[in-house]
């Protein structure tokens, strides 16, 4: 199931300015025949069945599907937060466990999971403290990251004093602070209103293009998946499996205008129809 990224890559390279990420890289993440069952015997639930995907370095992939399709489970298997029953995950040639211990993963969860006893800046510093970076350096790095998510003025606030969207931006700054090679995002904007979500999508793309990191993004929002991704994995529920892969041949950088392109609407429709098929299976 290696994606045929010919069209996407060429479109991106033709239309995007120099430095825009493309799908042309080698597979950073390889998921091979992953099956995940929860429980034993007759009560066992198969969350994932024989899933294989290859995410190229520098690309932005979304996992989309109805609830219960195992997209979050797949992300957690990739991040070594849960173990697959069968199959394997490699990240840059390492096993998922090795990659996690080597701190290859930046994770952003549906909830911001900030430490409310720390200031915003010290939340961003948390991973840097854990990797043992010196005080001055990590402070400087945290401030750069906060500027990147445009929260420089809020460094000394506590998370409880910030809105939900701002908290999630702090979580993104924290996940990126130690420059992980892979950013795993589990419905990070699911709890936000539509307007805030679109703004966060714009910001996320801007950051992704600046940092050129690889992103795997779980969502149940079709417009969000189409707007953000270079490639979309559509999953079907019970048991979760890959139903279709859709290349998103919209040029980067994307903006407000992208949401009004005919091609954008075509892709949204394509994903929607694929998902509808998934429901009927």
Partner 1 sequence: MTPSASAVTPAASSTGRRSAAQDVAGRTLPAVLTALLVLVLWEVVVRAVGIRPIFLPTPSSITATFFAEIPRLAEAIWTTGRAAILGFVIGGGAGFVTGALAARWRWMREGLLPMGVAFGAIPIVATAPIFNLWFSSLSVWSNAAVVALVVFFPMLVNTITGLSATDGGHEELMRSLAAPRNAVFTKLMVPTSLPFVFGALRVGAALAVIAAVVSDFFGGLRSSAGFFIKTLMATADYTGAWATVAALCLFGLALYGSVALAERTLTPWGDDG
Binding footprint of partner 1 on the chain (CB under 8 A): 79, 81, 100-103, 105, 107, 109, 111, 113, 115-118, 126-127, 129-130, 150-151, 153-154, 157-163, 165-166, 184, 196, 199
User: What helix, strand, coil percent values describe the chain, rounded to 5?
Assistant: 45, 25, 35
Nearer to partner 1 (CB atom), residue 108 or residue 250: 108
CB of 5 vs partner 1, minimal distance in Å: 28
Nearer to partner 1 (CB atom), residue 102 or residue 261: 102
- Residue 272 C-alpha from the chain's centroid: 20
CB of 150 vs partner 1, minimal distance in Å: 4
CB of 174 vs partner 1, minimal distance in Å: 9
CB of 76 vs partner 1, minimal distance in Å: 8
CB of 16 vs partner 1, minimal distance in Å: 25
- DSSP code of residue 259: G
DSSP string, 67-129: TTSSHHHHHHHHTTSS--SEEEEEETTEEHHHHHHTT-EEEE-SS----TTS-HHHHHHHHHH
Q: Is the peptide bond before 253 cis (omega within 30 degrees of 0)?
A: yes
Half-sphere exposure of 115 (CA within 13 A, CB side): 11
CB of 117 vs partner 1, minimal distance in Å: 4
d(CA 236, CA 239): 7
Could you count the other beta carbons within 10 Å of the beta carbon of residue 205? Answer: 21
- Beta strands, E only, the chain: 27-38, 45-56, 60-64, 86-91, 94-95, 105-108, 182-186, 214-219, 231-236, 241-247
């Amino acid at each position: 199931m290696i994606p045929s990224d010919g069209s996407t890559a060429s479109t991106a390279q033709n239309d995007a300015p120099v430095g825009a990420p493309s799908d042309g890289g080698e597979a950073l993440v390889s998921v091979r025949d992953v099956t995940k069952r929860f429980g034993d015997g007759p009560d066992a639930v198969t969350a994932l069945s024989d899933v294989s995907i290859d995410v190229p370095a520098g690309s932005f992939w979304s996992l989309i599907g109805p609830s219960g399709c195992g997209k979050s489970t797949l992300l957690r298997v990739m991040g070594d937060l849960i173990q697959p029953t069968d199959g394997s995950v490699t990240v840059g040639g390492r096993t998922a466990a090795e990659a996690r211990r080597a701190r290859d993963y930046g994770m952003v969860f549906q909830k911001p999971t900030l430490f409310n006893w720390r200031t915003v800046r010290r939340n961003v510093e948390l991973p840097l403290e854990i990797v043992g970076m010196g005080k001055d350096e990590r402070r400087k790095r945290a401030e750069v990251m906060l500027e990147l998510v445009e929260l420089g003025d809020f460094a000394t606030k506590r998370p409880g004093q910030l809105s939900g969207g701002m908290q999630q931006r702090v979580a993104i700054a924290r996940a990126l602070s130690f420059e992980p090679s892979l950013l795993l995002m589990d419905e990070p904007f699911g709890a936000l209103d539509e307007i805030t979500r679109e703004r966060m999508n714009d910001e996320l793309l801007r950051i992704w293009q600046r940092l050129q990191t690889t992103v795997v993004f779980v969502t149940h929002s079709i417009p969000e998946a189409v707007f953000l991704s270079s490639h979309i994995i559509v999953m079907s529920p019970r048991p979760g499996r890959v139903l279709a892969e859709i290349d998103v041949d919209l040029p980067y950088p994307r903006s407000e205008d992208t949401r009004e392109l005919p091609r954008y609407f075509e892709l949204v429709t394509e994903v929607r129809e694929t998902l509808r098929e998934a429901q009927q299976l």
